Amino acid sequence: MEKLIKENKYQIFRFIVSGFISTSINFLVYNLIYSIFKNIIFASVFGYSTGLLSSFIFAKIWVFKDNSQKKILRSFFIFCIIYFLGGLEMSLIVFSLNKLLIDHKVSWLCGTFIGALNNYLGSKYFLFKK
């Protein structure tokens, strides 16, 4: 793990920064849509979708610098699968740790770490591999 971090520290940094930016976009769109339509489900789906799309764009262009000729829709579909699995892992970790009476905030941090690790490694080794 230490070797992976050392060899990819700038890429990991860009991944973290792009994650914060994409999460911010998600939140801003969510708030905007909710303030206009007052529909939390629509706002959540639209916010999450824009955050996911921005995350994909950042990953392709800035984090992994992928300029391959792969079909964009196929790549985005694989990206969505990777992130769906990361979200599932995160949810399972949060639920499991919280059941073990670990504080819900600590549970969330552990789950977020595992989900982000899945998303980084899945993107690096399955989607944007060189």
Give residue for tokens 């339509």.
37
pLDDT digits (tens, 9 = 90+) for 62-82: 999 998 888 999 999 999 999
Q: What is the pLDDT of residue 55?
A: 98
- For 8, 51, 68, 104, the CA distances from 123, given in Å and listed in that order, are 13, 16, 14, 28
- Has residue 1 got a pLDDT over 90? no
User: For the chain, how many structural domains are there in total?
Assistant: 2
Residue 57 sits in the same domain as residue 1 = yes
Global pTM reads: 0.91
**At 104, is the pLDDT very low, low, confident or very high (cuts 50, 70, 90)?**
confident
Contact 128, 120 (CB under 8 A): no
- For 29, 40, 118, 123, 124, the CA distances from 90, given in Å and listed in that order, are 23, 22, 9, 16, 19
Residue 75 sits in the same domain as residue 122 = yes
**At 49, is the pLDDT very low, low, confident or very high (cuts 50, 70, 90)?**
very high
Give me the mean pLDDT over the 9-28 stretch.
97
Last residue of a domain, one of 65, 89, 120: 65
Last residue of a domain, one of 13, 40, 65: 65
Q: What is the pLDDT of residue 68?
A: 87
Q: What is the pLDDT of residue 103?
A: 86
pLDDT digits (tens, 9 = 90+) for 23-42: 999 999 999 999 999 999 99
- Has residue 7 got a pLDDT over 90? yes
Residue 26: closest CA among 5, 4, 56: 56
Q: 3-state DSSP helix/strand/coil percent for the chain, to nearest 5?
A: 85, 0, 15
Q: How long a stretch of residues is the chain?
A: 130
Q: What is the pLDDT of residue 12?
A: 97
Contact 116, 130 (CB under 8 A): no
Residue 80 sits in the same domain as residue 31 = no
Instruction: Name the token pair of 124.
Output: 């690096």
Q: Where in the sequence is the domain holding 79, given as residue range(s)?
A: 70-130
Give residue for tokens 């059941």.
99
